[in-house]
Amino acid sequence: MLPETSRAYFALPFAVCCLGVALFSVMDAAMKGLSLSIGLFNALFWRAVVGSLLGLALMLALRQRWPTLAVFRLHLLRGLVVAAMASLFFWAIMRLPLAEAIALSFIAPLIALYLAALLLGEKVGRQAIGASLLGLIGVAIILSGRMRGTYDIDALLGALAVLLSAVLFAWNLILQRRQAQMASPVEVAFFQHLVMLGVFTMAAVTVALIPGIGDLRPVIPRHSAWLLVALAAILAFASLTALAWAYARAEAQRLIPVEYSAFVWAAIMGWLAFDEELTLTTVAGAALIVAGCLVAARARPAEPPHVEAGAL
């Protein structure tokens, strides 16, 4: 039982963490609508434009220090990883229900166990291996729901894209550990958007469309495209800041269960915005994956990794 003062102190970081997870889920829904309307590349490109401008304004307003060359290299590496990760994930949610994609992405912390062993020399114990197997069974259950009867090959490719994105997200978790010790949340968010902008600008000359003018499909009203671009960028910054604030004030192992509430928010947003149904196999698979992640987190004496899938 926690002391009364400890519970009171934990209440605010817990609430802020809940808010951060909810904002990320709304951002995922906004990006899905944008991607279906103006195309995946354009959704990512214009969000990076707005996010970079917002980040620059905050860097100047808050008089944030500029990174050294060593820190900038880390920003660059993580930005490249996130660009690939986000491309795969948002490509996938164009083909999958939001809740199903989020559930599959929860496998990332389990993958991070093995990347930590490979990159950081950490040991993977028996309990962690068992937790990984539990998570894989959960993934298999979700995929089995896609392969019953006449299955949609496009949806299966979307599921594969989520799993590939989860591998990159696991690498991102390893990089994030180092980055959090060397830079502020505003600096991290700014350079992440800036590097992504640099990546997508290379093809923007020939591929980019102006939202509201060159929409591929009228999934959303044309006058709402720019609002969704701005909303997605603002939500990404706000959620990242909220989570960074919460994790700086409470132990990660106590906040990690909150991260899995993203599944609930994704189910709600998918139903409200895209009329998506929640299947029994998705719920069962998500429960096994989450159980595996929690078992793995308890098995490790070190601080468990941050698991937010919408930190894109």
- With a cut of 80, say whether residue 193 has pLDDT above it: yes
CA distance 287 to 219: 32
Show the tokens assigned to 112. Answer: 């991070």
For the chain, percent helix, then strand, then coil, each to nearest 5? 80, 0, 20
CA distance 288 to 142: 10
Q: Chain-centre distance of CA 51, in angstroms?
A: 16
Confidence band of 277 (pLDDT split at 50, 70, 90): confident
Confidence band of 17 (pLDDT split at 50, 70, 90): confident
- With a cut of 60, say whether residue 288 has pLDDT above it: yes
CA distance 36 to 244: 30
CA distance 195 to 46: 13
DSSP string, 159-216: HHHHHHHHHHHHHHHHHHHHHHTTS-HHHHHHHHHHHHHHHHHHHHHHH---TTTS-S
CA distance 84 to 14: 30
pLDDT on residue 114: 72
In the block, tokens 């998570």 appear at: 135
pLDDT on residue 93: 92
Kindly report the average pLDDT of the chain as a whole number: 79
Terminal Cα distance for the chain, rounded: 36
Burial of 253 (0-12, 13-18, 19+ CB in 10 A): middle
CA distance 104 to 131: 15
Instruction: List helix spans (H) across 39-152.
Output: 40-61, 69-93, 98-105, 108-120, 126-146
Q: What are phi and psi of 122, to 5 degrees?
A: -75, 150
Q: What is the mean pLDDT of residues 285-302?
A: 70
Give the CA count within 13 Å in the CB-facing half-sphere of 202: 6
Burial of 217 (0-12, 13-18, 19+ CB in 10 A): exposed
pLDDT on residue 228: 86
CA distances from 197 to 30, 64, 113, 200 (A): 19, 20, 30, 5
**Segment 72-117, tens digit of pLDDT:** 999 999 899 989 999 999 999 998 889 888 888 888 777 777 776 7
pLDDT on residue 115: 72
pLDDT on residue 77: 94
CA distance 177 to 89: 21
The SS3 of residue 97 is coil
What is the reported pTM?
Answer: 0.79
From the list 23, 180, 169, 166, the residue with the least C-alpha distance to 82 is 169
Q: Which residues of 167-181 are buried (b: 16+ CB within 10 A; e: fewer)?
A: bbbbbbbbbbeebee
Q: Which residues of 103-142 are buried (b: 16+ CB within 10 A; e: fewer)?
A: bbbbbbbbbbbebbeeeeebebeeebeebbebbeebbebb
